Structure 1
Amino acid sequence: MTLPPLVPLPASIASTDGAPFRLGADTVVSGDRDAAAALVSLLEARTGTAPGDGEDGSIELRIEKGGAPESYVLAADDASIVVTGADPAGLFYGVQTLGQLVRPDGAAWVVPAVRIEDAPRFAYRGVMLDVARHFQTVDTVKAYIDRASGLKFNALHLHLSDDQSWRLQLDSRPLLTELSSSSSVGGDPGGFYTKADYADIVAYAADHHMIVVPEFDMPSHTHAITLAYPELMEEPVIDDHMREIAASHGGELPVNGVDYDGMAVGFSSLKIQDEATYDFAADAFGELAAMTPGPYLHFGGDESLATSDEDFDEFVSRVSEIISNLGKIPVAWHEAGSAKDLADDTVGQYWGFVTPTDGMDDKARAFAQVILSPADAIYLDMKPTASSDLGLTWANGPTSVERSYSWEPSAVIEGLDDGDILGVEAPLWTETIKNLDDIDAMAFPRIAAAAEAAWSPATTESELRTWQSFRERVGAMGPLWTSLGIGFPASDEIPWVTEE
């Protein structure tokens, strides 16, 4: 019997004997209120009809403690559907799976007879949205949360500052949003989030069982600070590589105190030997910690080309300790692994290639745990094809859907197994991405490949963890994604299912 197509692939799925469950006017959802609301919304979008609710439901949603965190069991037959989560998150993910199971049968809608027992491979399953290169509205961020949580991601990494702009209001440093928030790449409009906006995003994410991981990138990627607090910044270091990028992508070379709307990186640096810099970091991360209920604060630490190795190591060690002393877990890009005195609990985020180069893997091994974001696999801003209007190609050229799928997390960095890997995160940088339509066009369907790497069994542990299986399964997601208003591109790598 053919198994129903699901993404990400569950840990265990088996078709059972019997007729499918038929959704109809008499379908009633009972049980956990939050999960029921999520399911009713999902079914209404998919089928055009919302089921009712009541005490005795033909679809029952319940929580029974004792299973693995975020796990669930889904059992469907012709009489009923029962989804049991080990916790609220697990029940929510079971609801997302149930939404994927719904299929048309003539004029009716059915759910096949099936039993699924599922739990995530990794505890951390993230997407990153860069709101610094191009500002994204609160509604756009919420829409991305909808999309990501439907694929069982549980972390939204918000890249809140870069050379182009500072995007979050801070009472302790008000000039950052007054003077440093108006620019975007290419001279497009800027913007920033008020503290109320940020709280709204955090709460919306929590309702979808996601944490927010905010990032203030430093000591480089900090040119925007020059507009507000120029005394903290070194002069830009401009080399031939920067001039080449400016020539190929447009934009002026950076000048302290002037908005920067180009795409070159690595030229800016905070003043490492000035104590005022660490007062700034303490203010920024202290206020951020108070606004962020999740356990992680990201402080960047990447591409500090204008900072000496010794100064860089001193900076990331001190800032990681500032964050750790706030009761938060510091996160930094893998370059920070060079520092001997990094706070012990710092998590490294690896953005190198699937096959590491230039000692990137050595730096990643310095951390107790690592988040994997291999750029040539799951950087969602890479062009999917050479002819794509959006995206970049620096990560080994265009990244096809097949390449985004065909990697194994435990094989990227020699010596790191699942116990050393906190999870997987798919970043979406926005140098060329301006709005939700652009986000959908670049994220889908490759975001589903990242979801499977983060949630599903290892490629060595399931015969269905193959490119051929995935392309068939993700092709079946097309009608659901369409009903949810997702503007995914019809990649010719995928055999898309259409429904009359």
Structure 2
Amino acid sequence: MTSLPLVPLPAAVTSADGPPFALDRGVRITGDASAAAVLHRLVATRTGVHLGHADDADASDAARIAVTVDGAGPAESYRLAVRHDGIEVRGADAAGLFYGIQTLGQLITGSASGWTVPAVDIDDAPRFAYRGVMLDVARHFHDVATVTAFLERAASLKFNVLHLHLSDDQAWRLELHSRPELTARTAAGAVGGDPGGLYTQADYRSIIEHAAAHHMTVVPEFDMPGHTHAVGIAYPEVAAAPALEGWDAAGGPTPVAGEAYTGIGVGFSSLRIGDDATDAFVADVFTELAALTPGPYLHFGGDEAHGTPPADFAAFVERTSALIASLGKTPIAWHEAGAAGDLAPGTVGQYWSFVRPAEGAADKARAFVTAGGRVILSPADAVYLDMKPDETAALGLTWANGPTSLERAYRWEPADVVEGLSEDDILGVEAPLWTETVRTLDDIDALTFPRIAAAAEAAWSPPTGRAPGRTWESFRSRVGGLGPLWTTLDIRFPASPEVSWTL
């Protein structure tokens, strides 16, 4: 049954005897009202068939799809049973039920005789608790509609975290009442001088609410002490002058203090560490962000702070991780922060080096575990969605060991990246999309699909080799079968030549 178009691969799939279930207008949905509404929309979008409800007057003899929360099994797990006379989807919780419905949507098959679902039994649960995607809205701004469309796409593949990169050298995107100049003076900026934008607090709340409706947690990031050139435009007293010796210009303009930066180079900016004004600024922005964010995590960046002396960097990481912990949130930082030594207990590290770690990266990642935290894996040469899929791609970059094919995006095992990390030390997997070249939702689709599906499988499915079908050959077949579903969901995915697509 691993030939079915199921991505991410479920933990257990078993063929059942008998004919398929016929999906037509006579079918009725019973059970959980919220889940029933999700299923109704998904079936209507995929097939044009509008299913009825069990309380309809003519429903006494109708075939049923029962969707219920039964409280059985681990968090986010579900059971799906399809027979010719009915379908049952049972979730351990509301999230599990939602994921069971997404799996059901992948099973719907069209033919000349109508829409059907094959007879099958599925018992499924996630490998990792944290299954994330990241959208960089600082390099290029993406409005609320684009963000919500992106998170819907991710949720359909069982991702449960949306990490928003809300600040960088180019701009600060989230309105803060405590520091209004951040957006007033910088939100118009973007790479290449393109149009900018900002999220009001109402916008931010609407993204969080939409994410919650799709069982996703929003993790906001204000990146510091590096990646803070825009902060210096708004509040020059807290920013150091650009440090240009040895910085990575990436072929772009040279940054000038107080002027908008439109390039994509990194490593030149820093906050003034140890100043009272800087400490007050950091406290203001994270205190307000914590109050705005119901989720458990706040990300404070910590990457590519080449303009910050190592001792100052360590002092900043210690102080900022402790501040976030004092606000009742779990700090997250990119793996470089592991060099600091005095992380707040429980701080989570996000590893972004390669599948084979660059020098020192593994040690820094392990430091988070030593401090009582865990690690999120985002190896850049496997799951950075902004890398070109091949040399001919119009969008994307190639710094992470060249273009990243779909096969390379799939052929890695989370437990094998950082030596010494146990399964329990890994919080999960996140696939970031940096937006130096990404301006629209179509651009997002062009770079993320189909490689986002490979990241989904790394985050959800059993380890490589632990389940039948957890192979590249199976995956490329299964993902090819999702072509019709993605098309009806209006996902503008490129037809990768690595896949034989069903269209």
String of CA shifts for 1:42-86, please: whole Å, max 9, x gaps.
101110121111247600000011310000000010000000000
Alpha-carbon distance between aligned partners in 2 of 1:29 and 1:90, rounded to the nearest angstrom: 17
Alignment of 1:201-220 (within 5 A): 201-220=207-226
Q: Which moved more, 1:150-159 or 1:172-181?
A: 172-181
Alignment-derived partner of residue 324 in structure 1? 325
After the TM superposition, which residues 156-167 of structure 1 pair with which residues of structure 2 at under 5 Å, given as runs? 156-167=162-173
For the residue of structure 2 that corresponds to 1:365, the secondary structure is helix
Out of 471, 483, 489, the residue aligned to residue 466 of structure 1 is: 471
Aligned to 2:34: 34
Q: Distance in 1 between matches of 2:3 and 2:229?
A: 53
Alignment correspondent of 2:390: 385
Stretch deviating more after TM superposition (455-464 or 210-219): 455-464
* Equivalent in the alignment of 1:314: 315
Structure 2 equivalent of residue 261 of structure 1:
262
Superposition pairs for residues 181-192 of structure 1, below 5 Å? 181-192=187-198
Partner-residue secondary structure (3-state), 1:116? strand
Contact 1:4 1:112 in 2 (8 A): no
Whole-angstrom distance in 2 between the partners of 1:160 and 1:2: 39
Cα drift, residue 165 of structure 1 = 0.2
The question of whether the paired residues in 2 share the 8 Å contact of 1:132 and 1:166 is answered with: yes
Q: Which AA in structure 2 matches 1:492?
A: P
SS in 2 for 1:335: helix
Matching residue of 1:481? 486
Q: Deviations over 1:455-483 (max 9, x none)?
A: 00000311311110000000000000000
Q: What RMSD in Å do the two structures reach over aligned CA positions?
A: 1.0
The aligned counterpart of 1:271 is 272
Partner of 1:292: 293
1:70-124 Cα deviation digits (max 9, x unpaired) = 0000001000000000000000000000000000132300000000000000000
Q: Any unmatched runs of 5+ in structure 1? A: none
Aligned-residue offset at 1:273: 1.7
Mapped contact 1:183–1:261 kept (Cα < 8 A): yes
- The residue type equivalent to 1:39 in the other structure is L
Pick from 89, 94, 104 the counterpart of residue 83 of structure 1. Answer: 89
Corresponding position: 1:50 with 2:38:
no
Which residue identity does 1:17 align to in structure 2? Answer: D
Aligned letter for 2:431?
Answer: A
Q: Distance in 2 between matches of 1:311 and 1:238?
A: 18
- CA shift for structure 1 position 5: 2.3
**Which residue pairs with 1:423 in the alignment?**
428
Amino acid at match of 2:33: R
Q: Which residue of 2 aligns with 1:221?
A: 227
Q: Are 1:471 and 1:493, in contact at CA under 8 Å, matched by a contact in 2?
A: yes
2:7 is aligned with what amino acid? V
Instruction: Report 1:124-135 matches (<5 A).
Output: 124-135=130-141
In the alignment, is residue 351 of structure 1 matched against residue 352 of structure 2?
yes
Question: Kindly tell me: are residues 242 and 354 of structure 1, through their superposed partners in 2, closer, same or farther at Cα, counting changes over 3 Å?
Answer: closer
CA contact (8 A) 1:3 1:14 kept: no
Q: Distance in 2 between matches of 1:47 and 1:107?
A: 13
How far 1:492 moved relative to its partner? 0.2
Alpha-carbon separation, structure 1, partners of 2:340 and 2:447: 35
Question: What is the Cα deviation at residue 3 of structure 1?
Answer: 4.7
2:3 and 2:474 in contact (8 A); partners too: no
Contact 1:77 1:113 in 2 (8 A): yes
- The question of whether the paired residues in 1 share the 8 Å contact of 2:240 and 2:270 is answered with yes
TM-fit CA distance, 1:33: 1.1
Query: SS of the counterpart of 2:442?
Result: helix
Which segment is superposed worse, 322-331 or 63-72? 63-72
Partner of 2:379: 374
For the residue of structure 1 that corresponds to 2:428, the secondary structure is strand
Tell me how far apart the structure 2 counterparts of residues 371 and 261 of structure 1 sit (CA, whole Å).
30
1:100 aligns to what SS in structure 2?
helix
Assess if the C-alpha contact under 8 Å between 2:130 and 2:427 holds in 1: yes
Out of 374, 377, 399, the position equivalent to 1:394 is 399
Contact 1:458 1:465 in 2 (8 A): yes
CA contact (8 A) 2:29 2:53 kept: yes
Partner amino acid for 2:479? V
Deviation at 1:41, TM superposition (A): 0.7
Helix, strand or coil for the counterpart of 2:147?
A: helix
The letter for the 2-side match of 1:74 is L
2:22 partner amino acid: R
- CA-to-aligned-CA distance 1:384-418 (integer Å, 9 cap, x gap): 00111100000000000000000000000001121
Matches within 5 A, 1:402-417: 402-417=407-422
460-469 or 212-221, larger mean C-alpha shift: 460-469
Q: Is the 8 A contact 1:423 1:454 kept in 2?
A: yes
Does the CA-based 8 Å contact 1:28-1:58 persist in structure 2? Answer: yes
Q: Structure 2 residue aligned with 1:155, among 149, 155, 161? A: 161
Distance 1:225 1:290 in 2: 21
Mapped to 2, the partners of 1:71 and 1:23 lie a distance apart of 24
Map of 2:13 onto structure 1: 13
Q: Distance in 1 between matches of 2:279 and 2:463?
A: 42
Deviation per CA, 1:429-476: give whole Å up to 9, x if none.
Answer: 000000100000000000000000000000031131111000000000
* Matched-pair contact (CA < 8 Å) for 2:170–2:190: yes
Q: Distance in 2 between matches of 1:355 and 1:340?
A: 23
SS at match of 2:40: helix
Q: Which residue of 2 aligns with 1:303?
A: 304
| 8 A contact 2:74–2:125 mirrored in 1 | yes
Cα deviation digits, residues 302-323 of structure 1 (max 9, x gap): 0000011111010011000000
**TM-score, normalization: structure 2?**
0.97
Aligned amino acid, residue 145 of structure 1: L
Q: Residue 22 of structure 1 corresponds to which residue in structure 2? A: 22
Quote the Cα distance in structure 2 between the aligned partners of 1:215 and 1:3.
39
Q: d(CA) in 1 for partners of 2:152 and 2:461?
A: 20
CA distance in 2, matches of 1:241, 1:314: 22
Pick which of 24-33 and 134-143 moved more.
24-33
Deviation at 1:4, TM superposition (A): 2.0
* Equivalence map 1:94-173=2 (5 Å): 94-173=100-179
- Give the Cα separation in 2 of the matches to 1:386 and 1:58: 49
- Give the secondary-structure state (helix, strand or coil) at the position aligned to 2:171: coil
Long gaps (5+) in structure 2: none
Q: Share of identical aligned residues, percent?
A: 61
Secondary structure of the structure 2 residue equivalent to 1:216:
strand
Matched, 1:457 2:462: yes
SS of aligned partner of 2:256: coil
DSSP 3-state at the match of 1:205: helix
